Structures are given as structure tokens and as C-alpha cells.
Structure 1
Amino acid sequence: MENAMFCYQCEQTMGGKGCTKHGVCGKTPEIANLQDLLIYQLKGISCYAKQLIEKGESINKEIVKFVENSLFTTLTNVNFDVEAHVELLKESQEIKEDLRAKAPTGTYSNEATYNLSDNKEEMLKDSIKAGIMYDQDLDPDIRSLRWTVIYGLKGISAYGHQARYINYHSEQVDRFYFIALEATTNDSLTVEDLIRMVMRTGEISIEVMRILDEANTETYENPSAHKVNVKIKKGPFIVVSGHDLRDLEQVLKQTEGKGINVYTHGEMLPCHGYPKLNKYKHLVGNYGSAWQNQQKEFNDIPGAILMTTNCLMRPRESYKDRIFTTNVVGWEGVKNIKLNEDGTKDFSSLIEKALQLGGFKEDEEEKEIIVGFGHNETLSNAEAIVNAIKKEDIKHLFVIGGCDGAKPGRNYYTEFAEKVPKDCIILTLACGKYRFNKLDFGTVAGLPRLLDVGQCNDVYSAVKIASTLADAFDTDINSLPLTIVLSWYEQKAVADLLALLSLGVNGMYLGPTLPAFISPNVLQYLVDTFSLKPISTPDDDLKNSLQQHYQ
């Protein structure tokens, strides 16, 4: 018998309230309930781990990695494979028992004392108690704040996973997984305590993005402005989607000299800016657009596709045999390329598939866009930007970024970008940029008006740019002629939003709709404290942004 489900972690959740029969993302009640139980197990593990941390003991890095990867597995559009979840659940019980034996005796929460059954049917029965709405009597604000912390952690785990894959991590982040997860089980914490934990989640989000920025820039060098062809070339090819730079590098190394073209897709577009990646001549361009168009864009293409992280949608039969996953990404019946003992991966099955399919028959006429305006590249122009703002040649900076999605209402971001006055600069990041990154915005004060800062985690770059400019004007971020317009879809965007709030950034616009997991009181708190605004119309929001700074 199949249980119902309840999930409201993403922007596209049914009716803006919650998915109860089937996930809009494609997950079944079975997957949703196994994911609930996995989060429940992670909370239990964390109750014991926190006690050990307080005793001054360090938690084994394999356990940290397990918690990080499990959180990431449950993020929207990552893993839809039942067996993968069952295996993770079994491992979670072993880890829990191991920590339980070491932790001091005392009273622990239900999440900690619960023992998992070893068969899937029993797991599914037990998953009811792990459901978001299981405790009907829980204060809605407490529930809202607990899940805001968990969704922030899911976003952090995605960035942490990416950094750890290049052998970078932060002790602070590693400890925080356990401290924050335990806090979501702790009935003694008040609304005020949990608001502090939400803000702390934002601070840790900044920290994990800093580590990931360090990992990417020290390994692949600082991105620089680089032209990218967005049209196709003749010949066999591989499309690499997701976010993982190291996977792309390994594909590039293993395809060298084999006559295979490699394209980035989705959030991999910024990879063209990194010198150690764009040196490969067969990294020929970017194919397609944002994640939600993949079923159409991958339909019957004569090439192989690699999904390195989210966002995976249900693969159509027309390309299910030519799409591969790696890391924690999974779909039943789709080949997952595992990590070898030495930390490398063997992409030969992907490469063979690309050669066998033969690729595109002819070149399209080239069309180029520019990427690579991370903090290092943009701040190399800092003096010019500061002078142009002082002379009012540049009137305002807009950060228009975040996730894209399929629901109506996202045309707002295209219209907003198109209507930004010619004497303003747009900084953009994440896949929301596909709404407008192929339009010609021209230049202002000798700089391109559209600066592509990078992936969603490059909110860190945007913050670094803003704080450097604020220092140059001897002021703070909120006093700059700067407006942040965010589109959110999944939990990395939640981590990004919390990061910005933890820095005290005021007056941000958020859309296309507000998160279903934010209760009315918590929303009011965010509005009162940070002047967080839901988007309205591009004209009104533009007018208000510009007026605010030029009254």
C-alpha cells in the first residue's frame, strides 16, 4: 500500500501549498517518504554527534560525508532511485548505532532512539512518523523555522559536496550539519532560538560558498571574461550538465584527441571562464538553456549527456539510454558512474556512447555570449566602476539571479532585465540568467552591461563585489545604488537567500512566489526586519528600486 506524501520544499510545489499525491519534480510518494525517513535518520545521528562534539570529540569525516551526501540526495531533482535510498537508509542505521555506542547516556529525542527496520516495506510504514506534518500540534512557526533550517542545510550540502570533491572543506560547516539538525529535534528551543539558528544557517552558507570559491579558483584559476559559442558544431559530442567542475575536467581529459566535442549545459556555462578548463580546445560551447527545458533539448539528440548534480528531470525514453549520472544523482535504469578508489572516474561508457551516436551533422552559424565575471574579473574593473558611479555614468547596479523554473510568472525576470535603464549594470548568476543572457545589452562606461558572475554559489562573488564597492564609498551594502532581485526554485536558492539575510542585506525582491514552508508570522518577521519584498510588476519594482536611491 502506498502512503500519501507531503513535500513543500521547492517553488513549484502543488498549488503553492504542498505536493500530496506526486511530486511536481517527478518523485513518487515512495521516494518522498524514503527521503523523509532519511532526514529523520540524519536528525537522529546528529543528536548523538552533537553530544560527542560538545565533549570535544571530532566526528569521523566519512560520517560527515555521509550526512552531506544524504542531505544532497534529498534536494529537489537530484535522486529518484528507490534502491539508492534504501541503501543510504541502511547505512544511516549503522552510523547511528556506532555513534549511539560512543555518546554519553541520557534522554534523547525519538529521531535518535528510533531503530530502522532492514526491509523497505517496514521503512515505508515507519516513514509516516518522519513526515513534515506528522506532529499536528506543533506550533506552525516552529515547524516553519525548523524546515527553513533543513532546506538551508540541503543547499549548503550541495556546495559542501562540490568543494569536498576537490578536497576542500570547512571544519565549521562540517560541525554545523550536526548542530543544526539536532536543533530541529529540540523541543526546548523557542521561536527566537530558531530564528537565530536560521541566521546562523545563512552565515554557514556564506562560509561554504567561500570554501567552494576557494576550491574552484585555486584549482582552475580565477575566471576571466570569455566568449562562449551557444550554437552547435559538427561531430560526436557530450553535454555536461549540473554544477561540478571536476567532473567536467575529467571528461575533457578523457576525451582529448578523440574527436569529441564537449558542451556545457545549464549551470555549467560559467566553466568556460576558468582558464584551466577553457584551455581544452574541444570544450566548444554551451548547448541548450536552463534545467526545466532538458526534456525538449535532450529529446533524440545524437550525443551523450552527463548529469553531475541536480537538476535531473524524468528522462524521456528517447534519450534514457544516452543520459548518464554521477555523484549522488540517480534515476532507476540510468547508468551511474561511480568514484574509483583513487578519487577519479572512468567515463569510457559515456565516451563510447557519444562516438557510437555520431553527433551533429553540420555546424550552425556561431553566436557568442560572454561569461567569466567572477569577483576577481569584475573587481579588476572596480576603479572604473566606482568612478562611473561617482560621475553618475552608472546609475544603479541590479543583481538578477537565482534558479529558473517551468511555472508561468518567470517572464518577469526577462522583462525586468529588458527594462533596466541603459545607464545601469546587471550582474547575473545561476540558471535564471537563461531568461535573458542571449539578448544584447550593449555597454555602459566601457563595460558590458550584463556581467555573468557564475553559478548559484557565486552569490559569494556578488557579495564580494558589493562589499568591495561599499568599502570604496566608505559605506555599507544597503547604502549602495544596488538592488537584488532573486528567483528561487530549490534549496540552494534558500541557502543563498539566508546567506544574504545573514549579512543584513535589505530590500531584496523575491519571486515568482514565496516559499510554502514560510509561515505568515515568519514572513512578517522577514518583511519587518529585512524589508523582503515579493516581486510585483517589473515596472513598479524597477521604479521603486531606482526611487529608493534617488529620492
Structure 2
Amino acid sequence: MDNLMFCYQCEQTAGGKGCTKRGVCGKTPEVAGMQDLLIYQLKGIAIYAEGYLQKGENVPKEYVSFIEDSLFQTLTNVNFDEKAHIEMLKKSQLLKEKIRKEQPHIVTTRDEALFQLQSDRNFILQNMKRAGIMHDQTLDADIRSLRETVKFGLKGIAAYGHQARFIGYWDDEVDNYYCKALAATTNDSLSIDDLVALTLQTGQMAVKVMSVLDRANNERFGAPSPHRVNRRLKKGPLIVISGHDLHDLERLLEQTENKGIHVYTHGEMLPSHGYEKLKAYPHLAGNFGGAWQDQQKQFANLPGAILMTTNCLMTPQPSYQDRIFTTSVVGFEGLTHIPKGEDGTKDFTPVINKALELGGFEEDEMPKEITVGFGHRAVLEHADKIVEAVKNGAIKRFFLIGGCDGAHRERSYYTEFAKLLPDDCMILTLACGKYRMNDLEFGAIDGIPRLLDVGQCNDSYSAIVIAKALADAFACGINQLPLSFILSWYEQKAVAVLLALLSLNVQNIYLGPVLPAFLSPNVLQLLVDTFRLNHISTPDQDLKTILTV
């Protein structure tokens, strides 16, 4: 299968250029090619879906939901199961044929729309190359770069949209945009300027979908408030739940109630302890481990069950393959998958039974706590105090230090940067990048903790709300605030967040640990020139530059 794949959608891509033999994430070339072909099929569906948009109608949710699930399934560290991709490919052809019949006035010569996929595995393997990123060797490198940036942004948007839709929230403009943007990436008449505009519009949709998910989570689970979270394990059976989906956590807590099982969050599920409805469950016992990249070591000897709800799954090791479960769009060959029923419910009995069978830990560990729950509502309740602290000089600057974590050794930059900050600086952190600093003691300024955990990666919207509120309080723009963004990226949700910030014209962002391989030199220079985007250097030098501007 040599040269079957080319993938450069995440930070860890081989050699900083692209995975061509096997994904560094563990993705096989067969699955990589199937993911490319699935996106190809989505583009074909989107071309016909434009017929609805041309008539001023919304794209039917049947197509939107499938597009969203498919985009999310192809995001890094979500689904490695070949069979799951073949099933989605089969469905993609059925939906493409259906929407083609519904929009007979759409006449096109684009192969994405006309291609007739057959469900035979050999046929799929033989036709995957046509969907590859580098298939068209004549395509302008900057056009390719911008198209891929839009695509990866859409994958991030889909991850957030999927979570909101699961609990009944969505936005028609975002839903329609999936189709508009996917179709646009097949349109050879679009210029560089057109695609730059599309890229920034993708950022606008990222802001919108994050606002939808913020509203969904706040209304469904109660606005987050500061809460101390235990980071040590208790005696007895346990389930560790990882990923991002709060609704899956809620269902699991309901189904484990009064069963003597402790439920622990892992990775990006840590912020769920701040939500009023979720932290009301006494058996939500704490948080286990740290960021996603350490799971193979952390899960190896864990005498409990593990449930993966969204992305962040690494190749399961033999030592725990029998006790890790997947749900939603997550999948890995050989693991037990918890499906969603036709009525939207899930039965976590297999996970519960495994936890009871394993028995958990034999004694309690010494407790250790960290604080979460500083969403925008909680922070803005103290807005007057924060504004006054800025005015009287107690707070000199705010730093948003967060984003994706990963195994790259250069990510120690973010820990060292936080340690170097003067005592009159506040830190906002979010996403799994928080684990680079959330066990450190930073103290407080006028009773306000210097480190505020804003939440998950999708809670970047909270940071935007906080920044806008401060800008309003000081009657200035976000770029005039004493606020710096120090971001780490890894996968496509981080791409969506970055595009969201750029769409708001946020300037002077520091990004690392390496720059995305899918940004061509010209596109990267455009971002540098337009938004003063910076690649991180050393903590000392970057901090000195920021504080002397």
C-alpha cells in the first residue's frame, strides 16, 4: 500500500511534511485513503445541495447530519476502523444518488458529483487515489493550501456542531455552510482572493458554532462555576470517560447511579466538573490522568473501564484493549462500540459490567485538587473587580495560554512561558494544553486566581466573550487590550479556533510548537503580513517581546 496515503492535517505529521506510509497517529494507509474518499463523496453531495441554497432553502438535516458526522469521523485520532469507513462510504453513495434526484437542475461535470462509488472493498481501494490531496499535481500550491485549510476548519466545526446537535442544538447558517464550503473547494474558477475570503468565512462559522455549543451546554447542564476537582483515585470500581461529550457523561452518570461505581473524567472532560448539573452527581469522583497523549501509559494498569466519546483516541495497547470502549463516531477495530439507538439513547451496560468485574482500586489515594469552572459567565460575574484591578495596576496583562497538547518535546515551552510570567499577569487557559500548567501554584491577584481554567477547546468562545467584555469596559478593540494569545495546535479543532480568531481580526497570535504543514509559504506569509501571526521561539524571547511592545 505504499504511496496510497498523503496526510498532513495534524501537528505530528511525519517529517513536518506529510504521512505517506502510515499515519503517526496510527492510521493505516487504507483508512487514510477511505477518509479522503469519504470527503470526496461529501463534496459531491454538497455540489447537489447547492440546489437548495440557490432556491433560498435550507439543506435538509439528513444530509447535514451525515456530512457533519463524516467530517468528524475523519478528524485526527477519532476513528481507525476500516469497516466503519466502508459503511459510511456506502451511505454516502446512497445519499448522493438521492440528492441528485432531488436537484435535477444541477448540471455539473465535477467528478466529485458524478463519481459512482461501488461498495466493494477492492473497488474502494482502487479508487481512493482520485480523492488524495496530492492527486492533481498541476494544482497551484496556494490554491491547494487554502482549500485544505478550509476543509480542516470544517472538520473542527463539525466536531463542535456534532456535540451540539446531539442535544438538540444547531444553526441553519452553519449547516448550510458545510455544503457551500465543500462545494467551493471543487470550484476551479475561484481565485486566491476568493479562497482567502472563504477561509475567513470558515472562521466566522467557527465562532458561530462555538456559540451554539456554548449555549447548548450552558442551558442543558447549567453554567460552569468554580469547582475543586479531586485528582486522586478512590477505592472501588471505576470508569474513566475521555473525549469531550458532556451528554455522554450525563447518560453514563445516570446509568451508574447507586451502583457503587466512581466515574472519573480524563483529558478534555475535566471541565465538565464545573457544570452545575453534572457536578451534582456525587459519584463523579474526580479527574484521572492528564492530556490525551499519555493515555497508553496511564491506561495500561488501570483496573477500570474506559469510555472514549470523541477524538483523542490513541492506538489501544493489548494491556487494556478488553476494557476500553468507543461510542459516537469514535472507532477502532476490535473494540466494543456503544451505538446510539434510533431514539437517541445509549446503553452503557457493557462498560458498567466491565467496571464491576475489574473491581477498581483496593484503597484510596491521597487527595489532590485543582480548580476548574471559569467559563465566561463565572469570570464576568467578577468583571468589575477585574477591571478595577487593571485600572489600579494590580493586573498588568492577560495571557491566554492553551490549545491542544501533544507529545512534541517543544511543548514544554508553554509550561516555561507560564512560569516566567510576572506576578501581575493573569493566565487564561483552555483545552488539554491546560495540563502543561494546571498543577502549578500561581497565587491570586486581589482574591482572583491568577490561573483561570476557561474549559474545553470549544470554550475558546468563552475567551472571546471575556475579551469582548473587557474591550467594551475599556472602550477599545480586542487588539488594544493588554491581552496576548499563546496557542498550541495539534488537530483540526485547533484550526477552527485559529480561523475563528483571525476572522475577528485578532492580531499578534503566537502559535506553536510547529507551523501547519498545509500552509504553503505564500499563504503563511499572507497570515503573517495580515494578522502578524508569530511562530513561537523561546519563552524568554517571546515574553520579552510582548512585554516591551
Place the TM-score, normalised by the shorter chain, in its bin.
over 0.9
Residue 486 of structure 1 corresponds to 487
Residue 317 of structure 2 corresponds to 316
Residue 392 of structure 1 corresponds to 393
Output the CA distance in 1 between the equivalents of 2:510 and 2:543: 10
Question: Is 1:519 aligned with 2:535?
Answer: no
Output the CA distance in 2 between the equivalents of 1:445 and 1:184: 51
In the TM superposition, what is the alpha-carbon distance from 1:16 to its structure 2 partner? 0.5
Residue 358 of structure 1 corresponds to 359
Q: 1:376-402, CA deviations, whole angstroms, 9 ceiling, x for partnerless residues?
A: 000111001100001110010000010
> Residues 3 and 122 from structure 1, CA distance in 2 versus in 1: closer, same or farther, beyond 3 angstroms?
farther
Contact residue 507 and residue 532 of structure 2 kept, 8 A: yes
Question: Is 1:233 aligned with 2:234?
Answer: yes
* Matched position secondary structure for 2:346: coil
Output the CA distance in 1 between the equivalents of 2:514 and 2:287: 29
Decide which moves more: 54-63 or 504-513.
54-63
Question: Is 1:179 aligned with 2:180?
Answer: yes
Contact residue 374 and residue 453 of structure 1 kept, 8 A: yes
Residue 495 of structure 1 corresponds to 496
Contact residue 2 and residue 21 of structure 2 kept, 8 A: no
Residue 96 of structure 1 corresponds to 96
Question: Is 1:158 aligned with 2:165?
Answer: no
Residue 56 of structure 1 corresponds to 56
Contact residue 58 and residue 172 of structure 2 kept, 8 A: no
* Matched position secondary structure for 2:460: helix
Q: 1:78-104, CA deviations, whole angstroms, 9 ceiling, x for partnerless residues?
A: 000000000000000001011111221
In the TM superposition, what is the alpha-carbon distance from 1:369 to its structure 2 partner? 0.5
* Matched position secondary structure for 2:20: coil
Output the CA distance in 2 between the equivalents of 1:239 and 1:348: 14
Residue 370 of structure 2 corresponds to 369
In the TM superposition, what is the alpha-carbon distance from 1:231 to its structure 2 partner? 1.0
Residue 13 of structure 2 corresponds to 13
Output the CA distance in 1 between the equivalents of 2:342 and 2:122: 33
Residue 328 of structure 1 corresponds to 329
Q: 1:367-423, CA deviations, whole angstroms, 9 ceiling, x for partnerless residues?
A: 110000000000111001100001110010000010001122100001011111111
* Matched position secondary structure for 2:277: helix
Output the CA distance in 1 between the equivalents of 2:22 and 2:41: 23
Q: 1:92-147, CA deviations, whole angstroms, 9 ceiling, x for partnerless residues?
A: 00010111112214223111111102201111111111000000010100000000
- TM-score scaled to structure 2, two decimals? 0.99
In the TM superposition, what is the alpha-carbon distance from 1:2 to its structure 2 partner? 5.9
Q: 1:4-31, CA deviations, whole angstroms, 9 ceiling, x for partnerless residues?
A: 2100000000010000001000000000
In the TM superposition, what is the alpha-carbon distance from 1:445 to its structure 2 partner? 1.9
Q: Aligned AA for 1:375?
A: H
- Identity percentage over the alignment? 63
* Matched position secondary structure for 1:410: helix
> Residues 105 and 385 from structure 1, CA distance in 2 versus in 1: closer, same or farther, beyond 3 angstroms?
closer
Output the CA distance in 1 between the equivalents of 2:89 and 2:343: 26
Residue 259 of structure 1 corresponds to 260
Q: CA RMSD in A?
A: 0.8
Output the CA distance in 2 between the equivalents of 1:242 and 1:67: 21
The ranges of structure 1 where at least 4 consecutive aligned residues each deviate by more than 3 angstroms after the TM superposition are none
Q: 1:51-90, CA deviations, whole angstroms, 9 ceiling, x for partnerless residues?
A: 2221233322121100000000000000000000000000
Structure 1 segment 116-515 matched on structure 2, within 5 A: 116-515=117-516
Output the CA distance in 2 between the equivalents of 1:502 and 1:29: 34
* Matched position secondary structure for 1:49: helix
Output the CA distance in 2 between the equivalents of 1:472 and 1:291: 37
* Matched position secondary structure for 2:241: strand
Output the CA distance in 2 between the equivalents of 1:453 and 1:344: 29
Q: 1:508-550, CA deviations, whole angstroms, 9 ceiling, x for partnerless residues?
A: 00000000000000011100000000000001111111112xx
Contact residue 47 and residue 108 of structure 1 kept, 8 A: no
Output the CA distance in 1 between the equivalents of 2:4 and 2:338: 32
* Matched position secondary structure for 1:409: helix
Contact residue 275 and residue 373 of structure 2 kept, 8 A: yes
Q: Aligned AA for 2:49?
A: A
Contact residue 164 and residue 212 of structure 2 kept, 8 A: yes
Output the CA distance in 2 between the equivalents of 1:62 and 1:420: 49
Q: Aligned AA for 2:92?
A: S
- Structure 1: 5+ residue stretches without partners: none
Output the CA distance in 2 between the equivalents of 1:348 and 1:189: 51
Q: Aligned AA for 1:74?
A: T
Output the CA distance in 2 between the equivalents of 1:223 and 1:105: 47
Residue 548 of structure 2 corresponds to 547
Q: Aligned AA for 2:7?
A: C
Contact residue 441 and residue 450 of structure 1 kept, 8 A: yes
Q: 1:308-327, CA deviations, whole angstroms, 9 ceiling, x for partnerless residues?
A: 00010000011000000000
Question: Is 1:47 aligned with 2:50?
Answer: no
Output the CA distance in 2 between the equivalents of 1:107 and 1:47: 8
Contact residue 241 and residue 309 of structure 2 kept, 8 A: yes
- TM-score scaled to structure 1, two decimals? 0.99
